[in-house]
Amino acid sequence: MTEPSRIAIVTGAARGIGAAIAERLARDGCDIAVMDLNATACADTVATVRALGRRAEAIAVDVADEASVHVAVRDCEIALGSPAVLVNNAGVLREKTLAKMTLDDWQIVQDVNLRGPFLMCRAVQASMRAAGHGRIVNLASIAALGAHGQANYAAAKAGLIGLTKTIALEMGRYGVTANVVAPGFVVTPMTVAVAERLGVDFETMVADVVRDIPAGRPGLPEDIANAVAFFADTRSGFVSGQVLFVAGGPRG
């Protein structure tokens, strides 16, 4: 049997969790299409992957735009080959209570966090089916269970879980798995930005959150990357349609 391609697409890979995922998959032997809204911003991640002896290509993509997704996946295929792994990590936050949330606040979060993974999954499914192998890992959140001030984000992440389970049902016969990693609180540039928008000291916010985490610490990007690596592994072919909460304690 021919060894399956070990080419991975990671969206939102310029920094934070996405960069950690790209590095971990490179350590596991994958070449990486490092995708983000701005290809230039991917330079550090690309350098990290290449330093590990793997190929890497920075590719700009607006995951919410159908044409952009088509071009980005085509560019991956030209530069590296057909992807065997897709990690949908790109995401945005717009925190407001329901009373203050605008339709624009709602829509941009749906577009990036739910429409984007749908478009990316649809774009790679044909080549994965043809290869008889594929690993799709979608990044949701504990917010899918409900989160104050995040009706838009919670709805998108809950929808992503439903999308993933459906893909697992439809694609399993082709050797393609689809799973969800749902992080809890993780120290990233995004969570730092949340504190800034709320006018809260970040260290104070972390201390408040950690009081409710049984593990007694916040998550790190590497914690999420390790979970993604399990689902992305060629040996994980009998694990599909699952949601793994990486939150320092039981969830779900």
Domains of the chain in start order, with CATH, are 7-184+221-244 (3.40.50.720), 185-218 (no CATH)
Containing 87, the helix (H) or strand (E) segment is strand 85-88
What's 4's DSSP letter? P
pLDDT value of residue 3: 57
Instruction: For residue 135, list its beta bridge partners.
Output: 85, 177
Nearest CA to 115 out of 107, 103, 104, 124 is that of 107
pLDDT value of residue 225: 98
pLDDT along the chain (252 residues), means of 10: 77 98 98 98 98 98 98 98 98 95 98 98 98 98 96 98 98 98 93 86 91 94 98 97 96 79
Question: How far is it, in rounded angstroms, from Cα 140 to Cα 161?
Answer: 7
pLDDT value of residue 1: 45
Catalytic residue among 106, 118, 153, 185: 153
pLDDT value of residue 5: 65
Question: For the segment 187-235, what is each residue's pLDDT rounded down to a tens digit?
Answer: 998 888 888 888 889 999 999 999 999 999 999 999 999 999 999 999 9
Please indicate whether residue 153 is annotated as part of the active site. Answer: yes
Is the overall model pTM greater than 0.85, yes or no?
yes
pLDDT value of residue 252: 73
Neighbours of 59 (CB within 10 A): 23
Q: How many residues would you count in the chain?
A: 252
